[in-house]
Amino acid sequence: MMNEETVVGGLYQLKGAIGSPYSMKMRAVLRYRRIPFVWEGGMAGFVAAQSMKAKVVPVLVTPEGEAFNDSTALIALLEARHPAVRSLVPTDAALGFLSLLLEDFADEWLAKAMYAYRWARPVDQAQMSRWLAFDALRGEGAIRIEEQAQAWRERQVSRRDLVGAGEAAQPVLEASADRIMAALDRQVVEVGYLFGRRPSAADFAFYGQLSQLATDPTPQGLMRAHYPWLYRWVQTTEDLSGEPEGPWDVTLDTPCLRLLLTECATHYLPYSAANAAAVASGEPMFQYGADGGVLTQAANRYQAKCLWALVQAFAALDARDQARLVPLLTETGCLPYLLKTVDTEAAA
């Protein structure tokens, strides 16, 4: 007779939460890649995260029982372990670099908008704190769930400034999310995914954040009203296990890539460079300019490492691929941020 251990044994276990963008990103990746796994919601992710160096979900446990986290590293681990089919990395190295850059942009910048929308307005705070508590504690009774909801609501609202999603940043983040969604809404209709009829790591990173924006009351309303195709794309991207393995488009310069890279150069990369400078000089707080104003945020070592990883990935491209990317990266404004500087290296 099979017990639970024999069923789970030999499979990956993904421990996360449906209210966590990175958990949804990884669940969609495993499904698309047809890698058999068991999804564990509830408290499993929070418990597993406690024994990790960075205490974040999702946590992926391999069939051999080793635990890892950080979605970007998890995607790389799965690429190394399962290289043959349904890879998320475009075969063209220049496109592969753009996928890394846009994955990071979605994970680290669109994430701020997601946080801002979830924790700014009472309607979103109330609904989502309750649902997150329900997801973790369902069946444990309304009192326990409401208490947990209240505790999480207070904690997350109090962290808005720390994560760069405070009052002053709110309009900047909302306007940026709007431009990102507008670009993606057209792309999913005209092409399907960012780099052709096949999803990349960057598509799944956008999917993760959008899965939350498509659930929380305020941004869900906006998406349904203004970006209905993208809203529906989120629902289809949740499970692409039956999607054929489509071709990559080899066009480097598309309207959608241009819009997203311009947004990246206008907001995320200047922010990230200012963060790296603060980390390098040991400043706890830093300021950066956005939409004519000045925003303040706590320095973040992890994001300094993200920027350094991008700088290194660009440097590792061969001269021909770099030359193919230079016009697009120059015209959109990204290039200066992708070259090695004293700060980006010191901060990492």
Q: Is 254 in the site for ligand GSH (CB under 6 A)?
A: no
Q: b or e along 154-174 (b: 16 or more beta carbons within 10 Å of the residue's beta carbon)?
A: eebeeebeebbbbeebbebbb
Interface with ligand GSH (CB under 6 A), residue total 11
Beta carbons within 8 Å of 67's beta carbon, 6+ residues apart: 48, 51, 52, 59, 60, 61
Nearer to ligand GSH, 21 or 41 (CB): 21
Q: Is 22 in the site for ligand GSH (CB under 6 A)?
A: yes
From 71, 87, 200, 209, residue interacting with ligand GSH (rule: CB under 6 A): 71
Nearer to ligand GSH, 20 or 129 (CB): 20
Which range, of 66-74, 166-174, 244-252, 312-320, touches ligand GSH by CB under 6 A? 66-74
- Residue 39 φ/ψ, nearest 5 degrees: -90, 125
- Token couple for 24: 């949804």
Torsion of CA 172, 173, 174, 177, to 10 degrees: 120
Q: Which of residues 72-111 bind ligand GSH (CB under 6 A)?
A: 72, 107
Q: Which of residues 201-240 bind ligand GSH (CB under 6 A)?
A: none
CA distance 118 to 250: 37
Q: Is 70 in the site for ligand GSH (CB under 6 A)?
A: yes
From 14, 15, 20, 183, residue interacting with ligand GSH (rule: CB under 6 A): 20
From 14, 28, 30, 57, residue interacting with ligand GSH (rule: CB under 6 A): 57
- Token couple for 97: 């670099």
DSSP-derived pairing of the beta strands 59-61 and 37-40:
unpaired
Residue positions counted in the chain:
348
Nearer to ligand GSH, 13 or 20 (CB): 20
Site residues for ligand GSH per CB under 6 A:
20-22, 49, 56-57, 69-72, 107
